[in-house]
Amino acid sequence: MAPNVVYETDRLVVRGWADTDEDRVFDIYRRWEVSRWLGAEPRLMTDRDAAARVIKRWNERNQDPVYGVWAVEERSTGTVAGTVLLVPLPDPSDGIASKGEVEVGWHFHPDAWGRGLATESAGGAIARGFKAGLGEIHAVVRPDNTASLAVCRRLGMRSIGRTSRWYAAELEAFLI
């Protein structure tokens, strides 16, 4: 069964994950240059079975009509360039995801860097969130991740300063 298309942009098809994406997911998240920016304690994906488990978890999460963690596929080649997400941020009091504050995020394979794909896919996720009635959307970025800081600026997000409010790491927060 083909994964569902969530939205499309000029160059991208943003969709649910397929089992056939396991090798690409593993190839993205096994790389330190990608994983070093993710999570409170960054770590590498160490085996292909982990990719299968994460795809299953993401697709379960993708049942929500607004939120999800989706594959970003290049229309011209059919290659999965990376991941884009629109998810509730964890409630600062208990760390459990709430639907009060929402985050947009992106993780891309290095062979997709520098071509505007993160900005294009995140812009589509933001538009989807606003169309669904969200009033504002956040992004949180490690302070030394200059590429993602630039994506936030290109998206028209405004900096609201550093915070460790949502995750156990000090991050630059942006809002649109």
CA angle 142, 145, 147 (to 5 degrees): 140
In which band, very low, low, confident or very high, does the pLDDT at 81 lie, cut at 50, 70 and 90? Answer: very high
- The more confident residue out of 82 and 168 is 82
pLDDT on residue 96:
61
CATH 3.40.50.720 assigned to 5-175: no
Q: What is the pTM of this model?
A: 0.93
CA dihedral 26, 99, 141, 7 (to 10 degrees): 60
For residues 17-40, give the mean pLDDT: 96
φ/ψ of residue 20, rounded to 5: -70, -10
pLDDT at 95: 54
**Span 30-40, pLDDT tens digits:** 999 999 999 88
Q: Give the list of residues 6+ apart from residue 162 with CB closer than 8 angstroms, or none.
A: 143, 170, 171, 172, 173
* Statement: residue 146 has pLDDT above 80: yes
> If you ran DSSP here, which 8-state letter would residue 3 be given?
P
